[in-house]
Amino acid sequence: MPYRDLQHFIEVLEQKGLLKRIKAEVSQDLEIAEITDRTTKKGGPALLFENVRGQSMPVAINLFGTNERMALALEIETLEKLPERLGSILALAMNPPTGGFLEKIKTLPKLMEMASFMPKSVSGGMCKDVILKGDQVDLEKLPILKCWPEDGGRFITYPLVFTYDPETGKRNVGTYRMQVYDKRTTGMHFHWHKDGARHLRKSKEPLQVAVAIGCDPAMCFAATLPLPPDVDECLFAGLIRQEGTRLTKCETLDIDVPANSEIILEGTVDPTERRREGPFGDHTGYYSLEDDFPVFHVKTVTHRAKPVYHTTIVGPPPQEDGFIGYAIERLMHPLMKMQIPELVDYHMPMEGVFHNLMIVSIEKRLPGHDRKVMKTIWG
């Protein structure tokens, strides 16, 4: 049965003995991150910090911090079976049929399966139990973490950022860290090559942006996938959970967001505005340096009646993102094989922070074949 929301997944983790509740008082500045870092590196459980100093919301972290929990989140036995369930659908979504009539007919069953899990519009949702606007908005009331001593401030590290292409109207959901500057302003770490940045460059006025914090596991995973612009993350989340994503309209934006979210931030990003962001403790064990990035102005905050703040740590492996990365690696294997038929398997180990190193096995057929594969991967 699909997870109703993030808190349903937390309940299942606890029932299976995979989550630990921390009732002692802790600080959102460094302490939660230090405890979680130690726990993750020992292969420990998901954590729910119930007593964050000066805050009313509990903090959920390390929910996906083992292969077992990642598989549970995606409702499969093991991550190795992920390609069997979703690989062919992902390949079809990223490479639609272009051949003759017969070839297109063969894909109809998969296309019909995809259509049955399209996002669904609903009125309202628990993410709107509480609505705060204008002067009521105060990001300091969220237990946003400072993870490393030299970080430039507190960062939202698992936001699902919703934007629309100003020209085509196509939606994108990505994860971009957000440094908190004050009660109603954050950074928006749009990388130049990412879809969010592309939407911002196209916009001739402040870009509407909605941020969901604390979605069900399928939506959290879909937002991290390297999907092309034509593949909707909300649709893919529906394929993962075998149930369409329920979306509701924002209070002040023309943007649809998951109705089962814990927290929604609504606001705008001005394409002409930049502000200093960082430093930020990163995957490699070094700090990303300060640089100028777009600024997110929060106009409205909505959340469920008793929300849980969902977050993660970015830092030297093993960390939670490494297990998410391994799930992505397994999912993308059939697509890689379509592009490189001689590929036997590949692995992106945590020691390479899962995107700086790839080990590839191929069926070598001719001299220099390994170089051909290497250049294809680099391309």
Do 14 and 137 share a domain, yes or no? no
Ranking 120-134, 218-232, 259-273 by mean pLDDT, the lowest is 218-232
- Distance between alpha carbon 144 and the CA centroid of its chain, in Å? 17
Do 272 and 158 share a domain, yes or no? yes
In this prediction, residue 354 has a pLDDT band, given cuts at 50, 70 and 90, of: confident
Do 238 and 332 share a domain, yes or no? no
Ranking 11-25, 36-50, 59-73, 188-202 by mean pLDDT, the lowest is 188-202
User: Which pLDDT value is given to residue 89?
Assistant: 72
CA–CA distances in Å: residue 174 to residues 72, 211, 231, 313 = 22, 10, 12, 17
The secondary element (H helix, E strand) that includes residue 377 is: helix 369-378
User: Which pLDDT value is given to residue 351?
Assistant: 87
Whole-number mean pLDDT of the chain? 93
Do 357 and 268 share a domain, yes or no? no
Q: Look up the CATH number of the domain holding residue 188.
A: 2.30.110.10
In 125-274, the DSSP E strands lie at 130-133, 155-156, 160-164, 171-174, 178-182, 185-187, 207-213, 246-249, 256-258, 263-269
Do 192 and 59 share a domain, yes or no? no
Do 288 and 334 share a domain, yes or no? no
Do 125 and 233 share a domain, yes or no? yes
What is the rounded average pLDDT of the residues 97-118? Answer: 65
In this prediction, residue 102 has a pLDDT band, given cuts at 50, 70 and 90, of: low
| Residue 261 phi, psi dihedral angles, 5° rounding | -65, 150
CA–CA distances in Å: residue 322 to residues 116, 190, 224 = 31, 21, 12
Q: Look up the CATH number of the domain holding residue 339.
A: 3.40.1670.10
Do 292 and 328 share a domain, yes or no? no
Per DSSP bridges, beta strands 280-281 and 287-288 are antiparallel
Ranking 11-25, 91-105, 156-170, 199-213 by mean pLDDT, the lowest is 91-105
Question: 78: buried, middle or exposed (CB in 10 Å: 19+, 13-18, 0-12)?
Answer: exposed
Q: What percent of the chain has pLDDT over 70?
A: 94
- Tell me which residue range forms the domain holding 362: 320-378
Using the 3D structure, point to which of 290, 310, 330 is the last residue of a domain: 310
The domain tally of the chain equals 4
Using the 3D structure, point to which of 280, 310, 340 is the last residue of a domain: 310
User: Which pLDDT value is given to residue 105?
Assistant: 59
What is the rounded average pLDDT of the residues 9-17? Answer: 99
Higher pLDDT, 231 or 151: 151
Please tell me the distance from the alpha carbon of residue 268 to that of residue 297, in angstroms, as a whole number. Answer: 5
User: Which pLDDT value is given to residue 94?
Assistant: 66
Q: Which two tokens stand for residue 16?
A: 């299976």
Q: SS3 of 185, please? A: strand
In this prediction, residue 97 has a pLDDT band, given cuts at 50, 70 and 90, of: low
DSSP state of 14: H
Do 258 and 342 share a domain, yes or no? no
Please tell me the distance from the alpha carbon of residue 123 to that of residue 247, in angstroms, as a whole number. Answer: 8
What is the rounded average pLDDT of the residues 306-332? Answer: 96
In a domain, 358, yes or no: yes
Do 31 and 86 share a domain, yes or no? no
User: Closest Cα to residue 164, out of 187, 189, 204, 198?
Assistant: 198
In a domain, 315, yes or no: no
In this prediction, residue 352 has a pLDDT band, given cuts at 50, 70 and 90, of: confident
User: Is residue 209 pLDDT above 90, yes or no?
Assistant: yes
- Give the catalytic positions in this structure: 282
Do 15 and 120 share a domain, yes or no? no
Q: Beta partners for 171?
A: 164
Do 32 and 119 share a domain, yes or no? no
Q: Where are the alpha helices (H) located in 131-245, listed in sequence order?
A: 195-202, 217-222, 233-241
Q: Are 255 and 206 in contact (CB under 8 A)?
A: no
Q: Are 31 and 61 in contact (CB under 8 A)?
A: no
User: Closest Cα to residue 284, out of 349, 225, 351, 348?
Assistant: 351
Question: 168: buried, middle or exposed (CB in 10 Å: 19+, 13-18, 0-12)?
Answer: exposed
Question: What does the DSSP assignment read for 255-277?
Answer: -EEETT-SEEEEEEE-TT--EEE
Sign of CA dihedral 123, 262, 282, 19: negative
Ranking 89-98, 121-130, 179-188, 306-315 by mean pLDDT, the lowest is 89-98
Cis preceding linkage at 96, omega within 30: no
